[in-house]
Structure 1
Amino acid sequence: MAVNIARIDYQGNTQWGRPSGESITLLPIPCSTTGELISAYSADELKSMNGPEVTLSHVKILSPVTTNQQFVCQGANYRQHMIESGVDPDAKSFNMIFTKAASCICPADSPVIRPRHVKLLDYEVELGLVLKQTIESAIEVSPESILDYVAGLVIVNDYSARDIQIPQMQFYKGKSFRTFGPVGPWLCLLEPGDDAYLLNLDLELKVDGEIRQRDNTSNLVFQPAETLTELSGVQDFAPGDLLATGTPAGCALAAPSPRVQRLMGLIPEQTKWRLFVNAQSKRTQYLQPGQTVTTTIRSQCGSIDLGTQTNRVVAE
């Protein structure tokens, strides 16, 4: 059975713990990075490890994925999100891949800082896969072998500055501002038999208590096994690296209609993107300073619960 692990600051020391209810067991683990933890210990070993117990209110929860790890992402990977992004899901035959700067990784309860020049701040709840082993050549990953390559799961919120990402065609820059990648609070380490949960987890995101996104990982278009197979033919991975698997429908971004897109193709670039930003700015779904974003991912049976992220939006 899966076990949740937390990376914490306790009395000025960074260490690992096993949360349970309102308390956390401090574990005697010397690992400083996520990769070191995953390489050194199995879920079963961490589940049975003993240590002193303290209340959660006495520790600061850090990101369970450390900033030395790669942060790779899938885009438009739920059918309805493809449609709202202006992509025909029946015509799209490729897996959209991009990266975020590891420096945007931050704790689950971090404030999200909206840069001064950003007007269109968007949210994206995503299931994050934390990888288990080194990959240095093309491999074939199947649903049956997925847990040979995936150690655990985390919540990721892929915050995005749409007025940078879209007009400048800069996914990396628009999604990599500091604090744009809260991860955690828990790293849920999986055990044999837990693979069935990968495609049966409920994702939910609320803004000030209003549900904006809700879906299930069964609706992923490109699933973890085929994505890892594809990416293994492109790049290397190390234990602890993070793969965010895409977000459901319900983002603030609204793609222009096909007719409007055709018309926009006839006008100068500067005018086109000024009109785009002006139109998007009228949408009240974009995040404003003072709003609170809450995200959860869990199985319906409760066996997998990745905790809750709570981020308050603040102006730079």
Structure 2
Amino acid sequence: MKLVRYGEIGSEKPGLIDDEGKIRDLSAHIDDINGHMLSDASLARLRSLDPASLPLIEDDQRFGACVNGVGKFMCIGLNYSDHAAETGAEIPAHPILFMKATSAITGPDDKVMIPRNSQATDWEVELGVVIGTACKYVTPDQALDYVAGYCVVNDVSERDFQAKLTGQWTKGKSCDTFGPIGPWLVTRDEIDDPQNLDMTLDVNGERRQTGNTKTMIFSIAECISHLSQLMTLHPGDVISTGTPPGVGLGMKPEPVYLKEGDVMDVWIDGLGQQRQTVGQDA
């Protein structure tokens, strides 16, 4: 299934995308798409519904973040060998974890706002993993059983805030609008191999990032297992699993960053496409 949240900010309704790419309303069956309805049993109940029996929604709809009520927004840094190389970083011995404020979460096509005093706002296409069942101390071979589904994430980053303000990367990752998620949550049964998904990001129609999840240093299962040794992962938690090469920070002969009016197109095979126009905070 492809699950969506559609409607104006703060008033999103749950829906699914049918076989013809149309939105079908799920409001009669669930209140929202959040951790409370992401268990295997809940998803099986939704899967048993006939999409044709659900109200058809007009195409011209805003999509909100595909999951609501995110408890933890966790990100894995330097998780692609080719991205680590472009930044001059050493390959980490363990998954690098940083947190992104949940207040950064926004819809997949909402504006991304350059924060005040920013000179280095950057892009990062990433595979998002949404936890469906609480897990703790799981092994890598068990880990994917706890996944509800996958989605596109743009891990927008302010590099000066991230590296020069002293402290954790979280400072440069958590600005308002820096966490577009969606357009939809694709349940794990629809993704044959999450470790072999092509991904791209364009800025103003020019290809910046091209990658595939097979070049991750730590697999999705390894990341989930590692994090579960440190904390309980709860339904609705999101893990953003790292970015391939081509970020603005790594461009030669010097970095190139986002400016007001730029347009980002962010795509992962089977998971849909985001498009964000860049604005400027006052």
State if a TM-score over 0.5 links the two structures: yes
CA distance in 2, matches of 1:116, 1:226: 37
- 1:178-203 deviation digits (Å, cap 9, x = unpaired): 10000001110122xx5642111111
CA distance in 2, matches of 1:208, 1:11: 26
- Other structure's SS at 1:108 match: coil
**Residue of structure 2 equivalent to 1:276:** none
CA distance in 2, matches of 1:11, 1:38: 22
**Residue of structure 1 equivalent to 2:274:** 309
Look at both structures and tell me which one has the larger radius of gyration over its CA atoms. Answer: 1
CA distance in 1, matches of 2:25, 2:170: 36
**Residue of structure 2 equivalent to 1:215:** 211
Structure 1 residues not aligned, in runs of 5+: 256-279, 299-304
CA distance in 2, matches of 1:70, 1:166: 22
Once the two structures are TM-superposed, the CA of residue 10 in structure 1 deviates from its matched residue by 7.3
**Residue of structure 2 equivalent to 1:8:** 6
CA distance in 2, matches of 1:231, 1:287: 32
Relative to structure 1, the CA distance from residue 33 to residue 4 in structure 2 (aligned partners, 3 Å threshold; closer, same or farther) is closer
**Residue of structure 1 equivalent to 2:25:** 26
* Length, aligned pairs only: 275
**Residue of structure 1 equivalent to 2:138:** 139
**Residue of structure 1 equivalent to 2:104:** 104
Amino acid corresponding to residue 262 of structure 2 in structure 1: Q
Identity of aligned residues (%): 34
**Residue of structure 2 equivalent to 1:272:** none
* 1:161-240 aligned within 5 A: 161-168=158-165, 169-191=167-189, 194=190, 196-240=192-236
Relative to structure 1, the CA distance from residue 10 to residue 246 in structure 2 (aligned partners, 3 Å threshold; closer, same or farther) is closer
Once the two structures are TM-superposed, the CA of residue 70 in structure 1 deviates from its matched residue by 1.0
- Other structure's SS at 1:48 match: coil
Relative to structure 1, the CA distance from residue 130 to residue 68 in structure 2 (aligned partners, 3 Å threshold; closer, same or farther) is closer
TM-score by length of 2: 0.90
**Residue of structure 2 equivalent to 1:86:** 88
CA distance in 2, matches of 1:239, 1:66: 11
- Other structure's SS at 1:147 match: helix
- 1:117-163 deviation digits (Å, cap 9, x = unpaired): 1000000000000011112x322131xx3431111001000001101
**Residue of structure 1 equivalent to 2:43:** 42
Amino acid corresponding to residue 211 of structure 1 in structure 2: R
Pair 1:130-2:130 in alignment:
yes
CA distance in 2, matches of 1:73, 1:165: 14
- 1:233-257 deviation digits (Å, cap 9, x = unpaired): 11111111100000000011139xx
Pair 1:52-2:48 in alignment:
no
CA distance in 2, matches of 1:109, 1:245: 21
Amino acid corresponding to residue 18 of structure 1 in structure 2: L
CA distance in 1, matches of 2:174, 2:273: 22
Question: Runs of 4 or more off by more than 4 Å in structure 1?
Answer: 10-13
Relative to structure 1, the CA distance from residue 47 to residue 221 in structure 2 (aligned partners, 3 Å threshold; closer, same or farther) is farther
Relative to structure 1, the CA distance from residue 4 to residue 210 in structure 2 (aligned partners, 3 Å threshold; closer, same or farther) is same
